[in-house]
A and B are shown apart, each in its own frame.
Chain A
Amino acid sequence: MTEEAAERPEPALRALAKQARAGGAERYHDKAREQGKLFVRERLARLLDSADGFVEDGLLANALAGDLPADGVVTGIGTVGGRTVAVMANDSTVKAGSWGARTVEKILRIQEYALRHEVPMLWLVDSAGARITDQVEMFPGRRGAGKIFYNQVRLSGRVPQVCCLFGPSAAGGAYIPAFCDVVFMVEGNASMYLGSPRMAEMVIGEKTTLEEMGGAAMHCRVSGCGDLLCADEDEAIQAARRYLSYFPSSWRGDPPAEPARGPAYAGPVAPLIPTDESQPFDVYPLVAAVVDSESFFEIKREFAPEVVCGLGRIEGRAVGIVANQPLVKGGVLFVDSADKVARFVWLCDAFNLPLVFLADVPGFMIGTEVERQGIIRHGAKLITAVSEATVPKLCVVVRKAYGAGLYAMAGPGFEPDATLALPTASIAVMGPEAAVNAVYYNKLASLPEAERPAEVERLQREYREDVDLVRLAADLVVDAVVDPDDLRTEVARRLAFAAGKKREFSDRRHGVPPV
């Protein structure tokens, strides 16, 4: 080695790179460990198939600052489940993962990579938000933080956007998870909020805690911003990997298939469904009777649980399941249920996952409270999503499908590939009791009280005969009446035949959907 070679700059650069990979000061690592947090590179090692296969951009971003390794964010390309993904991961040991100008630029560039190459965009979020000191460089301009959200909107529906929320996502940063398709939140650490509790107290005089106002549990149960409450970071990472296995890399592809398995529930199906339509039953066993064993990935389980949405597989083929849950709030649809289903339907339609609707729904909720919440526009939004969905759709009428509930569950008017009815199915504007009461109110009131019950019963019987399943089948309202034990097979066959369906809806820029 010559003297000149010894002075070449590699060793210094290597040291700098090593320092950048090590993240922030030791005390911040200690603090993270105390909170049950993994270091950003450990998170990546667990998320990706192989940490060695990861190529990183901007490791030396802001290297001249000295104390901002990689400017607090790791971005790059790796593989998950064998497919290429773009990743952004905040490093909370560097200024609490806050954003400077280079941070934002790195995020924009990895997003733009995902846009150009049409690969899924994965977000490992743990950031305190903008560095106010750098605001002019990173907030308002053409390549400021706003562009991140603009890019996210452009990515939406084009490639899967998956978020693991490990820590805070505050103020503007809170929108990153909001624009993702799915958010896995670590209970206790994850939070989303626009203004901190301190700010809330100052500005509106509200005393609250971070957990109460913007904690993971609140978002997964109440606001609907979270999709899955995870016990720890590893669970969130595994959930993200599993979630991705249902999706194509972009809107152009079909979801990857897996080897078919037997049904998750192999027992008799008919006994699961009580014939008395007012009697609640648990819909999960019915879902299990339709999907493959160990294939169901539920979305927003704890939010609006009166309707169940989840990814699943039927004979290996990825599908989206939407099922009313009669056990919770009678399976009635509310504003939150409408939001939950609408988003899920958009998700599945965007990425070519067929939809199976299992309907047992008394309709949308009525009353002053829900009217004030705009139940009509929420319902209209849901029906918009269901209408626009051009993936193969199957409407299975399990028991009742009353009123707009029928429409929300992809009833015959909404171009399902088929409307299937179980023998317990009942389709009508409303149930017999309500209908008789509504139509014959005056007539019944004019009768002597002693005669009313018999007349009510007669009218209800007449009504039931009018909407009898045989009548509905005879009039071609339903396409097939299916034995419950054959439901899975029937659904599997119809989905197999519907593959390759032509996807057209309406010529226009986009609709003006009610929200």
Chain B
Amino acid sequence: MTARPFRSVLVANRGEIAVRVLRACRELGLVGIAVHADPDAGALWVREADRAVAIGGSAVAESYLDQAKLLAAAAEAGAEAVHPGYGLLSEHAGFARAVTEAGLVWVGPPPEAIAQMGDKLVARRAVLAAGVEPVPGTTDPVTDPAEVVAFGEAHGWPVAVKAAAGGGGRGIRVVAGPAEAADALASATREATAAFGDGACYLERFFPRPRHVEVQVLADTHGAIVQLGERDCSVQRRHQKLIEEAPAPGLPAGVGQQLRTWAVAVAKACGYVGAGTVEFLWDPESQSCWFLEMNTRIQVEHPITEQVTGVDIVAAQLRVAAGEPLGLTQDDVTVRGHAIECRVNAEDPARGFLPAPGTITTLRWPGGPGLRVDAGYEAGDTVPSFYDDLLGKLVAWAPDRDRAIARMRAALDELAVEGVATTAPALARVLGHDDFRAARHWTTWLEEALDLSDLTPAAAPAEADFHVTAGGRTWPVRLYRHRPRRPGGQAGGGGGLVASPLAGTLAKVNVVAGQRVAEGELLAVVEAMKMETPLLAPFDGLVVGVTCAVGGPVAAGQVVVEVEAGGSP
């Protein structure tokens, strides 16, 4: 592949990763271009970017997942490369191709590698061919209970019966032994049919208490490939990572060596270029490890690897995409100390990590030696309900794990967030727990062993008195020492009779009889003393009548519009 230097990068993402990539662009002297959907207007990465393009829409499908909009934005802003970040379109081979076909540089692996690793069965075949063991499982749908029994006897119990159309932990049934095989398969098939309209089920070896360990790899277009060591991401909720650390604690040296070797083998097998992560399952009980999948993009938790290796992975992605060599051999990579990442999400851990979008009234990130913050928000910003709710990541580095934990606990103490609930109290509880400190936890440990229902959000959402939208942002205003209640009908008249509060001329009427109006909606405008005075709907309802003529005089207290409460919409 030939070198394709570029001068500007469109970041087709949002939140903290957009900020992270824009930072790398700035450092490398590249023009960083942000995109934003409507709810993200004026967001932190938009403010940080050299240029920003509004792509409109709210839901991801009509914004950050709309390829045509992103490509149009790239053209409009004169971008020469596209960095997809993580999630969204980052592992979409079609988008990678479309970017390349538009004459832009794709900051990521070749579309073929994305496609290969994105297809479970294809990936499985590829890694097996490279001598890497995936989690034992079947590749064809299973219909006969005898197959379940045979599988269990061959690979060990328990066995998971998985809906082909499921995913993310949905549609899984665990079979402890041969006796349960028939019932489990029948009900799994039935449930899968009901839930997904597809009853096909596969089998997989099930590990009740596995750890999630992954290896970061970097490859360039000149054939160089290095691994940057492993990370442990076993503190999860609903299969989503919450706390990650590097290196993986308690991992036997031999297992670590095996995983790193396998990771490089997988990357080679798919012709990988750029930054990628090979995910494995490690079962401490059986001391066995298995390949899960490869993520063909930057990971949320990449900073911990950066902290222990000193390698700037995002900068490396950009340089590799420009055709430059990695400039790094495996011998150059050493892992120093221990790093932990905590994800601070706008979620309420006491209510099952329920997303808690809203306006952040106070946000003070911690600081100090060995602490890194990758944030996507500042105080005054609003976390929209449409997208991932990651506010930012705290990354603590220290010479060893205990000190890294202590540093992170102090950082969580220092973190101050008001306005939205966050995962911070849950993170603090995990870090203080004996299981975590002894690295005895597993991927469903948080849900199975920890009761978080008594947690109160780090700071009770402090209600703003009102919000002001100005300069593209929504600002919470906490004005009152004593908050007055909402004043009663200013419109005068009383009830649904909306009267002019002063004598003047009826300048404008915005409604007609029979029209539905919402509370606070502009009904009419009275002009007096050369000032416009708006008459607003006192409540949701139906306009019964307009009793004055536009252009004519109105007396103080004269009813202008009559509104009737309620009424069917």
Q: Would B470 and A267 count as touching, CB distance under 8 A?
A: yes
For A296, the closest partner residue in chain B by CB is B479
- Hey, what's the 0/1 contact readout for A227-243 against B, CB within 8 Å counting as 1? 01101000000110011
Give CA–CA (A327, B522) in the complex, Å.
Answer: 12
Q: Would B481 and A278 count as touching, CB distance under 8 A?
A: no
The verdict on B556 contacting chain A, using a C-beta distance below 8 Å, is: yes
Knowing A228-B482, A294-B480, A329-B501 are in contact, say whether A280-B488 is a contact too (CB < 8 A): no
Which residues on A sit within 8 Å (CB–CB) of B490?
305, 328
Which residues on A sit within 8 Å (CB–CB) of B527?
278
- Hey, what's the 0/1 contact readout for B391-409 against A, CB within 8 Å counting as 1? 0000000000000000000
For B462, the closest partner residue in chain A by CB is A294
The verdict on B236 contacting chain A, using a C-beta distance below 8 Å, is: no
Q: Would B477 and A328 count as touching, CB distance under 8 A?
A: no
Residue among A221, A285, A294, A433 making CB contact with B478, cutoff 8 Å: A294
Q: Would B468 and A267 count as touching, CB distance under 8 A?
A: yes
- Hey, what's the 0/1 contact readout for B493-514 against A, CB within 8 Å counting as 1? 0000000011100000000000
The verdict on A490 contacting chain B, using a C-beta distance below 8 Å, is: no
Residue among B380, B471, B473, B479 making CB contact with A291, cutoff 8 Å: B479
Interface 9-residue window, one of B62-70, B194-202, B222-230, B530-538:
B530-538
Which residues on B sit within 8 Å (CB–CB) of A112?
none
Give CA–CA (A369, B503) in the complex, Å.
Answer: 9
Return B246 CB to nearest CB of chain A, in Å.
Answer: 38
The verdict on A332 contacting chain B, using a C-beta distance below 8 Å, is: yes
The verdict on B528 contacting chain A, using a C-beta distance below 8 Å, is: yes
Give CA–CA (A395, B468) in the complex, Å.
Answer: 25
Dominant SS among interface residues on chain A? loop
Q: Indicate the member of A242, A298, A431 with the most B CB atoms within 10 Å.
A: A298
Q: Indicate the member of A221, A265, A285, A334 with the most B CB atoms within 10 Å.
A: A265
Q: Would B529 and A365 count as touching, CB distance under 8 A?
A: yes
- Hey, what's the 0/1 contact readout for A263-305 against B, CB within 8 Å counting as 1? 0111110011000011110001101100101111110011001
Residue among A228, A264, A305, A363 making CB contact with B529, cutoff 8 Å: A363
Which residues on A sit within 8 Å (CB–CB) of B103?
none
Return B520 CB to nearest CB of chain A, in Å.
Answer: 12
Knowing A284-B466, A285-B477 are in contact, say whether A366-B529 is a contact too (CB < 8 A): yes
The verdict on A434 contacting chain B, using a C-beta distance below 8 Å, is: yes
Return A443 CB to nearest CB of chain B, in Å.
Answer: 21
Knowing A238-B482, A288-B477, A291-B479 are in contact, say whether A271-B529 is a contact too (CB < 8 A): no
Q: Would A327 and B477 count as touching, CB distance under 8 A?
A: no
Residue among A221, A238, A271, A291 making CB contact with B488, cutoff 8 Å: A221
The verdict on A24 contacting chain B, using a C-beta distance below 8 Å, is: no
For A267, the closest partner residue in chain B by CB is B475
For B492, the closest partner residue in chain A by CB is A329
Q: Indicate the member of A238, A293, A301, A363 with the most B CB atoms within 10 Å.
A: A293
Which residues on A sit within 8 Å (CB–CB) of B466?
284-285
Q: Would B488 and A302 count as touching, CB distance under 8 A?
A: yes
Q: Would B482 and A297 count as touching, CB distance under 8 A?
A: yes
Give CA–CA (A362, B527) in the complex, Å.
Answer: 12
Residue among B380, B480, B488, B556 making CB contact with A266, cutoff 8 Å: B380
The verdict on A11 contacting chain B, using a C-beta distance below 8 Å, is: no
The verdict on A330 contacting chain B, using a C-beta distance below 8 Å, is: yes
The verdict on B552 contacting chain A, using a C-beta distance below 8 Å, is: no
Q: Would B479 and A294 count as touching, CB distance under 8 A?
A: yes
Q: Would A367 and B503 count as touching, CB distance under 8 A?
A: yes
The verdict on A217 contacting chain B, using a C-beta distance below 8 Å, is: yes
Residue among B478, B480, B485, B534 making CB contact with A327, cutoff 8 Å: B534
The verdict on A248 contacting chain B, using a C-beta distance below 8 Å, is: no
Residue among B380, B475, B480, B534 making CB contact with A280, cutoff 8 Å: B534
Return A266 CB to nearest CB of chain B, in Å.
Answer: 6
Dominant SS among interface residues on chain B? loop
Give CA–CA (A24, B479) in the complex, Å.
Answer: 42
Residue among A231, A296, A366 making CB contact with B481, cutoff 8 Å: A296
Q: Total interface residues on B, using CB and 8 Å?
A: 30
The verdict on A326 contacting chain B, using a C-beta distance below 8 Å, is: yes
Which residues on A sit within 8 Å (CB–CB) of B488?
217, 221, 302
Knowing A287-B479, A305-B490, A328-B490 are in contact, say whether A267-B532 is a contact too (CB < 8 A): no
Give CA–CA (A363, B503) in the complex, Å.
Answer: 14
Could you tell me which residues of chain A, from 353 to 389, have a CB within 8 Å of some CB in chain B? Answer: 362-363, 365-367, 369
Return A284 CB to nearest CB of chain B, in Å.
Answer: 7
Which residues on B sit within 8 Å (CB–CB) of A267?
380, 468, 470-471, 473, 475
Could you tell me which residues of chain B, from 430 to 473, have a CB within 8 Å of some CB in chain A? Answer: 466, 468, 470-471, 473
For A295, the closest partner residue in chain B by CB is B481
For B487, the closest partner residue in chain A by CB is A302
The verdict on A331 contacting chain B, using a C-beta distance below 8 Å, is: yes
Give CA–CA (A329, B490) in the complex, Å.
Answer: 10
Give CA–CA (A271, B475) in the complex, Å.
Answer: 13
Return A280 CB to nearest CB of chain B, in Å.
Answer: 6
Give CA–CA (A329, B533) in the complex, Å.
Answer: 6
Give CA–CA (A353, B527) in the complex, Å.
Answer: 36
For B473, the closest partner residue in chain A by CB is A267
Q: Would A362 and B530 count as touching, CB distance under 8 A?
A: yes
Q: Would A264 and B478 count as touching, CB distance under 8 A?
A: yes
Q: Indicate the member of B473, B482, B488, B534 with the most A CB atoms within 10 Å.
A: B482
Give CA–CA (A26, B484) in the complex, Å.
Answer: 35
Give CA–CA (A288, B470) in the complex, Å.
Answer: 13
Which residues on B sit within 8 Å (CB–CB) of A266?
380, 475
Q: Would A330 and B471 count as touching, CB distance under 8 A?
A: no
- Hey, what's the 0/1 contact readout for A82-126 against B, CB within 8 Å counting as 1? 000000000000000000000000000000000000000000000
Q: Would A301 and B484 count as touching, CB distance under 8 A?
A: yes
Which residues on B sit within 8 Å (CB–CB) of A369?
503, 556
Which residues on A sit within 8 Å (CB–CB) of B533?
280, 328-330
Return B188 CB to nearest CB of chain A, in Å.
Answer: 54
Residue among A229, A272, A280 making CB contact with B468, cutoff 8 Å: A272
Return B360 CB to nearest CB of chain A, in Å.
Answer: 12
For A280, the closest partner residue in chain B by CB is B532
Q: Would A332 and B475 count as touching, CB distance under 8 A?
A: no
Give CA–CA (A431, B485) in the complex, Å.
Answer: 35
Give CA–CA (A50, B488) in the complex, Å.
Answer: 36
Return B468 CB to nearest CB of chain A, in Å.
Answer: 5
Q: Would B470 and A268 count as touching, CB distance under 8 A?
A: yes
Which residues on A sit within 8 Å (CB–CB) of B478?
264, 293-294
Which residues on B sit within 8 Å (CB–CB) of A280?
531-534
Give CA–CA (A278, B508) in the complex, Å.
Answer: 14
Q: Would A265 and B531 count as touching, CB distance under 8 A?
A: no
Pairs of residues from A and B, 5 with the lowest C-beta to C-beta distance, nearest first? A330-B531, A267-B475, A271-B470, A268-B471, A362-B529
The chain A residues found within 8 Å of chain B, CB to CB, are 217, 221, 228-229, 231, 238-239, 242-243, 245, 264-268, 271-272, 277-280, 284-285, 287-288, 291, 293-298, 301-302, 305, 311, 326-332, 334, 362-363, 365-367, 369, 431, 433-434
Given contacts A228-B484, A366-B529, 18 further A-B contacts (CB under 8 A): A221-B487, A239-B482, A265-B468, A265-B475, A280-B533, A284-B477, A285-B468, A287-B479, A288-B477, A293-B479, A296-B480, A297-B482, A298-B480, A305-B490, A311-B481, A329-B502, A330-B502, A369-B503
The chain B residues found within 8 Å of chain A, CB to CB, are 380, 466, 468, 470-471, 473, 475, 477-482, 484-485, 487-488, 490, 501-503, 527-534, 556
7 A–B pairs (Cβ distance < 8 Å), ordered by A: A271-B471, A272-B470, A291-B479, A298-B484, A305-B490, A327-B534, A332-B528
